[in-house]
Amino acid sequence: MTLINSPQAPAAVGPYSHAARVGNLLFCSGQIPLDPETMKIVDGGIEAQTQQVIANIKALLGTVGAGLPNVAKTTIFLTDLGDFATVNGIYEEAFGDHKPARSTIQVAALPLGSNVEIECIVELNA
């Protein structure tokens, strides 16, 4: 197993790595909408937060030479399932025709007051 931390993604806000590579699978920790420069949650509501989360995932995946087409499974955590349609639209635009397996869960709270967090499992080239 290899632990991975990306200098392009926001620093971890706890004692964990951005991802763990096991064979050709990458298990990515959840990304919240932190601006990697300020380490603050982005302003602009659920739309801006979801876009930032996806940007953070892309930055992390880029560190290992992967991208969204390599994603096999995502889990989306929302503090308000009423935001599902908005998040779903932004997610669909980002992933395009690639439709990985997915779960979406409403939770009571997320780190640093975030409204959305997304984690993923990625298949890497051998």
CATH of the domain at 21: 3.30.1330.40
CB atoms within 10 A of CB 51: 17
Q: What is the pLDDT of residue 87?
A: 98
Residue 29 has pLDDT above 70, yes or no: yes
Is residue 54 within 8 A of residue 94, CB to CB? The reply is yes
Q: Give how many domains the chain has, as a whole number.
A: 1
**pTM of the full structure:** 0.96
pLDDT tens for 49-95 read: 999 999 999 999 999 999 999 999 999 999 999 999 999 999 999 99
Residue 124 has pLDDT above 80, yes or no: yes
Q: What is the pLDDT of residue 126?
A: 58
Please compute the mean of the pLDDT values over residues 16-31 and round it to a whole number: 97
Quote the CA–CA distance of 20 and 124 in Å, as a whole number: 12
Which residues constitute the domain of residue 34? 2-123
